[in-house]
């Protein structure tokens, strides 16, 4: 049905719908804190060995596909044969007191802010349980209460190329659904949220577990799934940055779509349907 | 436009202030004893859950072609203790491994005797707490039969490994519980990659405890002590790095 046919009289004021369930809101705000802690403590753990490898083993004598380091007072990021000078940001940077440090990630993105592998591991491995537990619980709830099927899984028609292209074009012109169409996620939203919930977050948890020597003694299939322990570490890192990219896009969309209405809907659950602009 | 700018500035300003506060807040939290207690909860949970899931499962063993071309040496690569120097000078022919503490029959075992005991060869992956891994081949005496030979007292709960190397005068030591001590892959390795254990990898004897991180794999083992509690060893946290750097005693993750 077209939104126009059923557009409500504007005189009645904006339509407010219940947008997000309590479970979604709780999980969302828990993850704001938990993911930030996981990311920042993870960057400190990476600082202990700022090199990434493919396969099962990988240490300083072995070739790294990614490396952050410092040479002759210049910081660098090296990916394959490509090298970028990152002095001041990565590899070599100034701490809060202005002293130069040769470390991969700078103090303002790590927990704790000065080098401490032991403490960052404690943050990461304790919050990791909240992260994994929250994901498992939310996935289960979404499966049971129909959130996954009703709100997140795209309908067949939505996946038609013409519909997908139309949605992409609308997003590119920053035209967002209004009226009745805004009651549901559009197909790009569905695909974005679904890939985070069903792919990125589980991959982060599973690659994290693959790095645990006891865990892979219990579940050796994890090593095969990701192609080795060092591959799992690389994928863990890539997935974390894919999440960072998702969060930047997500925040940009919230700002563009009307931050007050959007943030309020994630706090109270109530969402005011954006009105038609055709009038 | 001005409202947009001011709103943007407001949001950016709030975000920056927020993250700065969050950062210094995290540092402060990390120092607070109560919060550290909370953070230790993760180690307790990992220990319980992983022990439950893993049972007696073996760590993966690899085919020979999977060996690291170069196995990175880490930590101390040559002890400075007089006792170790004396043994090294003799090619470890007069080295004796001592097993004491809560045992019925304290042992003093030469390398020749050790090589005659039940042994195991395994190609395994060594995972350092820092994130790197190396695959090596290890041959050594299984710890379980050795402990049976010494006769563990019923109240023995931990096995402590006293090492010849030190960091600024503090000797290295490590400890494991009996579950890990009696695991078939837990060996005292005297050979690595089909040769004698190289000095940098812990000659004459190195603990391999394959389901745990690298810092548990004590090198230059001189003495094994069975104890009821870890409180009186070192600073009481069960290992050199546990005492010094606050690494977790449970190193399964």
Q: Which pLDDT tens digit goes with each residue over A131-143?
A: 999 999 999 999 9
Could you tell me which of B168, B174, B167, B162 has the C-alpha nearest to residue B217? Answer: B174
Max CA pair span of chain A: 72
Residue B154 lies in domain: 60-245
Sign of the Cα torsion B39, B42, B48, B51 reads negative
Q: Give yes or no for a contact between B184 and B163, defined as CB atoms under 8 angstroms apart.
A: no
Q: How far is B143 from chain A (nearest CA, A)?
A: 19
**A47: nearest CA partner in chain B:** B130
Q: How far is B79 from chain A (nearest CA, A)?
A: 23
What is the rounded average pLDDT of the residues B76-94? 95
Which one of B26, B53, B59 makes the best mutation probe of the A interface by having the most chain A beta carbons within 10 Å? B26
Q: Is B132 in Cβ contact with A111 (below 8 Å)?
A: no
What is the rounded average pLDDT of the residues A168-172? 91
**B243: nearest CA partner in chain A:** A118
Q: What is the pLDDT of residue B182?
A: 98
Question: Does the pLDDT of residue B242 top 90, yes or no?
Answer: yes
Lowest mean pLDDT among A234-238, A269-273, B64-68, B108-112: A269-273
Q: CB contact, 8 Å: B16 with chain A?
A: no
Q: CB contact, 8 Å: A221 with chain B?
A: no
Lowest mean pLDDT among A2-16, A66-80, A165-179: A2-16
Percent of all residues in chain A with a pLDDT value above 90, rounded to a whole number? 86
Q: Is B30 in Cβ contact with A112 (below 8 Å)?
A: yes
User: Both tokens of residue B57?
Assistant: 């499962």
**B21 falls within a domain:** no
B137 neighbourhood in chain A, CB within 8 Å: none
Q: pLDDT of A249-279, one tens digit each?
A: 999 999 998 999 999 999 999 999 988 765 4
pLDDT tier, A4 (very low <50, low <70, confident <90, very high otherwise): very low
List all residues 6 or more positions away from B247 whose beta carbon is below 8 Å from its beta carbon. Answer: A117, A118, A121, B129, B215, B239, B241
Q: What is the CATH number of the domain that holds B234?
A: 3.90.420.10
**B213 falls within a domain:** yes
pTM: 0.91
B71 neighbourhood in chain A, CB within 8 Å: 59
> DSSP per residue over B225-240, as a string?
EEES-STTSTTSSSSH
Q: How far is B88 from chain A (nearest CA, A)?
A: 27
A255 neighbourhood in chain B, CB within 8 Å: 11
Domain count of chain B? 1
Is residue B163 within a helix (H) or strand (E), and if so which, with residue range? strand B158-167
Q: How far is B121 from chain A (nearest CA, A)?
A: 17
Q: Is A122 in Cβ contact with B43 (below 8 Å)?
A: yes
Q: What is the pLDDT of residue B15?
A: 61
- Is A16-50+116-272 assigned to CATH 1.10.3720.10? no
What is the rounded average pLDDT of the residues A178-194? 90
C-alpha distances in angstroms, A154 versus A144, A159, A188?
18, 7, 9
Question: Does the pLDDT of residue A9 top 60, yes or no?
Answer: no
Question: Does the pLDDT of residue A2 top 50, yes or no?
Answer: no
Separation of alpha carbons B194 and A171, rounded Å: 62
Q: pLDDT of A31-43, one tens digit each?
A: 999 999 999 999 9
pLDDT tier, A5 (very low <50, low <70, confident <90, very high otherwise): very low
Q: Is A80 exposed, middle or buried (0-12, 13-18, 19+ CB in 10 A)?
A: exposed
Which one of B11, B52, B133, B200 makes the best mutation probe of the A interface by having the most chain A beta carbons within 10 Å? B133
Q: How far is B128 from chain A (nearest CA, A)?
A: 9
**B42 falls within a domain:** no
Q: Give yes or no for a contact between A270 and A16, defined as CB atoms under 8 angstroms apart.
A: yes
Q: What is the pLDDT of residue A182?
A: 86
What is the rounded average pLDDT of the residues A143-150? 92
Cα B155 to chain center, whole Å? 23
What mean pLDDT, rounded, does chain A reach?
92
What is the rounded average pLDDT of the residues A111-134? 96
Question: Does the pLDDT of residue A53 top 70, yes or no?
Answer: yes
Q: Is B60 in Cβ contact with A217 (below 8 Å)?
A: yes
Question: Does the pLDDT of residue A11 top 90, yes or no?
Answer: no
Q: Give yes or no for a contact between B221 and B172, defined as CB atoms under 8 angstroms apart.
A: no
Separation of alpha carbons A28 and A23, rounded Å: 8
Question: Does the pLDDT of residue B83 top 70, yes or no?
Answer: yes
Domain ranges across chain A: 16-50+116-272, 56-104
Q: CB contact, 8 Å: A170 with chain B?
A: no
**What per-residue string of b and e applies to B46-65 under the rule 16 or more CB within 10 Å gives b?**
bbebbbeebeebebbebeee
| ipTM exceeds 0.95 | no
**B33 falls within a domain:** no
What is the rounded average pLDDT of the residues A150-155? 92
Q: What is the pLDDT of residue A12?
A: 63
C-alpha distances in angstroms, B147 versus A65, B99, B144, B152, B228?
44, 8, 5, 6, 15
Q: pLDDT of B170-203, one tens digit each?
A: 999 999 999 999 999 999 999 999 999 999 999 9
Q: pLDDT of B115-173, one tens digit each?
A: 999 999 999 999 999 999 999 999 999 999 999 999 999 999 999 999 999 999 999 99
Question: Does the pLDDT of residue B24 top 90, yes or no?
Answer: no
Interface of B with A in 99-128 (CB under 8 A): 125, 127-128
CB-nearest to B72 from A48, A61, A129 is A61
**B158 falls within a domain:** yes
């Amino acid at each position: 049905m077209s939104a126009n046919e059923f557009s409500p009289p504007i005189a009645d004021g904006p339509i407010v719908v219940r947008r997000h369930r309590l479970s979604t809101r709780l999980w969302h705000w828990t993850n704001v804190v938990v993911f930030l802690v996981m990311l920042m403590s993870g960057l400190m753990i990476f600082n202990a060995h700022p090199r990434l490898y493919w396969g099962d083993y990988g240490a300083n004598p072995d070739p790294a596909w990614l490396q952050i380091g410092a040479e002759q007072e210049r910081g660098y990021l090296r990916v394959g044969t490509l090298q970028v000078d990152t002095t001041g940001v990565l590899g070599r940077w100034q701490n809060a007191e202005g002293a130069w440090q040769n470390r991969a990630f700078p103090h303002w993105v790590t927990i704790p802010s000065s080098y401490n592998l032991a403490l960052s591991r404690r943050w990461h491995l304790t919050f990791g349980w909240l992260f994994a537990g929250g994901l498992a619980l939310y996935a289960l709830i979404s499966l049971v209460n129909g959130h996954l099927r009703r709100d997140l899984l795209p309908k067949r028609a939505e996946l038609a190329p013409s519909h997908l292209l139309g949605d992409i074009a609308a997003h590119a012109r920053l035209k967002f659904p209004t009226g009745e169409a805004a009651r549901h996620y559009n197909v790009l939203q569905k695909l974005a949220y679904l890939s985070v919930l069903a792919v990125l977050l589980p991959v982060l948890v599973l690659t994290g577990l693959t790095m645990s020597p006891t865990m892979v003694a219990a579940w050796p299939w994890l090593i095969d799934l990701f192609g080795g322990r060092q591959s799992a570490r690389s994928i863990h890192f890539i997935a974390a940055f894919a999440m960072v990219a998702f969060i930047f896009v997500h925040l940009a969309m919230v700002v563009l779509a009307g931050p007050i209405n959007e943030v309020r809907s994630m706090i109270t659950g109530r969402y005011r349907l954006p009105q038609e602009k055709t009038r | 436009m001005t409202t947009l700018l001011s709103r943007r500035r407001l949001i950016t300003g709030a975000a920056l202030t927020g993250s700065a506060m969050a950062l210094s807040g995290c540092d402060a939290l990390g120092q607070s004893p109560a919060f550290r207690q909370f953070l230790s909860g993760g180690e307790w949970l990992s220990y319980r859950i992983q022990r439950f899931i893993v049972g007696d499962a073996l760590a993966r063993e690899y085919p020979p072609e999977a060996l690291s071309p170069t196995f990175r040496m880490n930590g101390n690569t040559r002890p400075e203790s007089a006792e170790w120097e004396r043994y090294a000078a003799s090619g470890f022919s007069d080295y004796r491994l001592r097993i004491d503490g809560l045992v019925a029959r304290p042992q003093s075992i030469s390398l020749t005797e050790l090589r005659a005991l039940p042994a195991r060869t395994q190609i395994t992956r060594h995972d350092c707490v820092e994130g790197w891994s190396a695959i090596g081949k290890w041959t050594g005496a299984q710890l379980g039969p050795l402990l049976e030979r010494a006769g563990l007292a019923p109240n023995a709960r931990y096995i402590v490994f006293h090492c010849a190397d030190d960091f600024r005068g503090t000797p290295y030591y490590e400890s494991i519980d009996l579950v890990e001590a009696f695991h078939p892959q837990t060996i005292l390795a005297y050979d690595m990659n089909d040769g004698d254990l190289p000095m940098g990898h812990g000659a004459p004897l190195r603990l391999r405890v394959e389901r745990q991180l690298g810092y548990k794999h004590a090198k230059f083992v001189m003495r094994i002590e069975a104890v009821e509690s870890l409180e009186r060893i070192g600073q009481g946290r069960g290992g050199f790095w546990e005492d010094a750097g606050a690494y977790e005693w449970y190193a399964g993750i």
